[in-house]
Structure 1
Amino acid sequence: MAHVVIVGAGQAGASLAAKLRSEGFDGDVTLIGAEKVPPYQRPPLSKAYLLGEMAEERLYLRPEEFYADQKINLRLNTRVVAVDSQNKTITLSDEEVISYDDLALTVGAHPRMLPASVGGMLDGIYAMRDLSDADAMAPALVANKHVLIIGGGYIGLEAAAVAAKRGLKVTLVEMADRILQRVAAPETSDYFRELHRAHGVDIREGVGLDRLLGDDHVTGALLTDGTELEIDFAVVGVGINPATILAESAAIAVDNGITTDSHGRTSDPHIWAAGDCASCLFKGERIRLESVGNAIDQAEAVARNIMGRDEKYTPKPWFWSDQYDCKLQIAGLNIGYTDVYIRKGDAPGVQSNWYYKGDELLAVDAMNDPRNYMIGKRLIEACRSPAPAAITDPATDMKALLKP
């Protein structure tokens, strides 16, 4: 009987295992996770969970009994230390060896941390990637404490929003010229800068961290402009690195993630990858999509292809971020954009930013504007590009743009 082993029990791994069963796979399925808890949602960790608005059990993707009912051998608190692709085995940290017929790597990514040379070894420095990170940070979120957020991407901004809502003094530093510089246009940066400053967050752009100060626990920070701050703790949000060590141990090709073809297969025909760890093809370029939607869709395509369906996976990029009462929804990828066109909504704070490369619509950032997000998403998926003048005209019936 065929045995599929899935390493990594996050959104992608859980989706892959469930899809194998729902598609009728009758072989053995083993899902291995390094954490002690069953597969769970990560996005609420830095939002509702950290605010105390969501219990741990509500994070779980499925009840734990689901895995037993579906005959999925869920092995938690278990680490895989090596992959032997020649003999088609994996080795666990306790030296147990498990054979597979097909292996799926859904191992996610790791947050980048500060080096020891800038004080990264001090206590009181947190990242935000998994449940243990959120649980470790929660006791520090006490009103009137001063937190330094290092990094002005979405993770840093979400952490800043939670801290501000909890009544902390928040300083955020971003070494680049503006927040969200790597992922969004200046128009989107402007929107969120104004939003955070309205909530009392001290945003400092073009300023980096020189080093953190303290003996055992962080007590201060020296910034690159010479400013010295007294702080109670720090949150690092400077990006993630794909987890590629296991792939490298099996001599699998790696290129900003585990390299996969259009079917989710790696350079080894019996090893697959999906989720944040996997690089895939999009419009002829190799990319990695760090999103729940991609983790689910890619993992489900891999499940079908393990079963021999020969199905090509076409990424449909979409993302979201919740900050205060603002819901940002993003459709498409803005890589290579040349122009951004703004459509203002009828109410304050409602806005969508439309990215074009020449005449081609690439992406939409929609702030508190779910209707135009959905319209933009459907237009992008249909490869349709309305004239920018129609986007910016308040009189345009946006839904009519979807008509043939």
Structure 2
Amino acid sequence: MSPVRRSLMAAVSSSLVSLKHGLSHWCPHSSRLHNSTPALLASRTFHHRTFCIRASSDFANDNREYVIVGGGNAAGYAARTFVEHGLADGKLCIVCKEPYAPYERPALTKGYLFPLDKKPARLPGFHTCVGSGGERQTPEWYKEKGIEMIYEDPVTDVNTEKQTLQTQSGKLLKYGSLIIATGCTASRFPEKIGGNLPGVHYIRDVADADSLIESFKKAKKVVVVGGGYIGMEVAAAAVGWNLDTTVVFPEDHLLSRLFTPSLAQKYEELYQQNGVKFMKGAKIKNLDAGGDGRVAAVKLEDGSTIDADTVVIGIGAKPAVGPFEKVGLNTTVGGIQVDGLFRTKVPGIFAIGDVAAFPLKIYDRITRVEHVDHARKSAQHCVSALVTARTHIYDYLPYFYSRVFEYEGSQRKVWWQFFGDNVGETVEIGNFDPKIATFWIDSGRLKGVLVESGTAEEFQLLPKLARAQPLVDKAKLQSASSVEAALEIAHKSLQAEAKV
């Protein structure tokens, strides 16, 4: 194909894309969809958008056809999808606050925190998209693909009428289509109760993890505040450093948003076998400083005190909406409201990953998902819909997992996976040695399933079960002699419904 013909085809493609960019509809601030998707799709309106076609890497006029704000997983996977469609070279710009190209953020509370003698993960080893088996997108990769990267210069303002972004350094960026992929920020303790004391850590980026590692090198007593993902993963890492570790949280058991009390007990026992202590049902009053100004103790509301020279706060996260509040927020689940194609109410602006409040089609509700799997898939779906004529609605199946105690010398490596919805009654099979499974059953149908230490084949079965939601015989499941036998019962239920 001649250069002239390629140029003409690119211009035609851009014109067609500009029509698609302008499609936008508003998802109501509601927790239910009420079968409204067809009506919403039918009501789409067209808006004119303007674009500038340029030669590769020519950004002298500060006009960008596509701009992604954020440098996390979602941004990296979105970039890869633009490349796959041939629409990145000279057209795509990524603006981020970190000095690094997008990376697989889950590594920060897993392999990155391994002791220095146990082969910890380090960049560039976990740049996207290695987490899903894809090519490692190093800074050189972005240069080779003609993608402009603006590092350490977060966006401070957006003008939706003029289609411009203002960065912290004063740079003014003109965009054609904008994808907001800002993720979340760690929830912090107030300064007045010691939330900013030296030795108090939060983990959201490489700099945070580096700071914690420096504390681990000198630490003797570590207190982890929070019994969720962050708390469990950081505590497991601290064990690898042979540190005196205590986990404090207000709930009755670990990971209360997902684990049943019985399931949590199995994990708590494993941690206790590794020397971790738990303070359950405990609330923090304040963090005390020592004579050197560093954190020295955690005071609880019941008057008790836990000595600590390092404290890690893992109490959740907040969507990083920043200057994008005007784009439209969901006041129920937080984040930026989007439809099933990740379009906001503002034509030409999209939101993906942790920050997006989207329709969870399978369960007919609006939600946000703070997980790498959704970050990857929402990015791919959004960009594919943006640059092609595809209009099928994002149909996500909730998926969560964790991997801990994986460093060399660990007596027991832990890896569980969960698919579906944790609603209804539960059936637990297995004794955690070596594996365990929990099934969630609602109105006779299998809604969710978790397996610890499963095989590759068993893990591949879980999403099939959770998506199909087959009718299962609860009594048969309860009488299963093993995890393998229980999964086989569920599998046969799935096959029986497929034949109907």
Give the Å deviation of 1:189.
Answer: 1.5
Alignment of 1:60-209 (within 5 A): 60-61=127-128, 62-142=137-217, 145-209=220-284
Distance (whole Å) between structure 2 residues aligned to residue 269 and residue 385 of structure 1: 43
TM-score by length of 2: 0.77
**Is the deviation greater in 373-382 or in 350-359?**
373-382
1:279 aligns with 2:365: no
Counterpart in the other structure of 1:367:
452
Identify the match of residue 425 of structure 2 among 332, 339, 364: 339
Give the Å deviation of 1:56.
Answer: 2.0
Distance (whole Å) between structure 2 residues aligned to residue 269 and residue 360 of structure 1: 40
Give the Å deviation of 1:55.
Answer: 2.4
CA RMSD of aligned residues (A): 1.8
Give the Å deviation of 1:401.
Answer: 4.3
Counterpart in the other structure of 1:44:
107
Identify the match of residue 392 of structure 2 among 283, 299, 311: 311
Give the Å deviation of 1:37.
Answer: 1.1
Distance (whole Å) between structure 2 residues aligned to residue 142 and residue 391 of structure 1: 47
Contact 1:304/1:311 (CA < 8 Å) preserved in 2? no
**Is the deviation greater in 212-221 or in 52-61?**
52-61
Distance (whole Å) between structure 1 residues aligned to residue 493 and residue 453 of structure 2: 20
Larger radius of gyration between Structure 1 and Structure 2: 2
Distance (whole Å) between structure 1 residues aligned to residue 217 and residue 125 of structure 2: 24
Counterpart in the other structure of 2:81:
19
Distance (whole Å) between structure 2 residues aligned to residue 254 and residue 198 of structure 1: 43
Counterpart in the other structure of 2:346:
268
Give the Å deviation of 1:278.
Answer: 0.8
Give the Å deviation of 1:322.
Answer: 1.2
Considering fraction of residues, name the structure with more strand: 1
Counterpart in the other structure of 2:435:
350
State the one-letter code of the partner of 1:296.
R
Give the Å deviation of 1:234.
Answer: 0.2
State, as a whole percentage, how many aligned pairs show the same letter. 26
Runs of 4+ in 1 over 4 A off after TM superposition: none
CA 1:200–1:144 in structure 2 vs 1: closer, same or farther (change >3 Å)?
A: farther
TM-score by length of 1: 0.94
Contact 2:250/2:283 (CA < 8 Å) preserved in 1? yes
Counterpart in the other structure of 1:253:
329
Aligned length: 400
1:4 aligns with 2:66: yes
Identify the match of residue 296 of structure 1 among 368, 373, 376: 376
State the one-letter code of the partner of 2:385.
N
**Is the deviation greater in 46-55 or in 125-134?**
46-55
Counterpart in the other structure of 1:235:
312
| Unaligned 5+ runs, structure 2 | 1-51, 54-64, 129-136, 406-412
1:320 aligns with 2:401: yes
Distance (whole Å) between structure 2 residues aligned to residue 231 and residue 195 of structure 1: 23
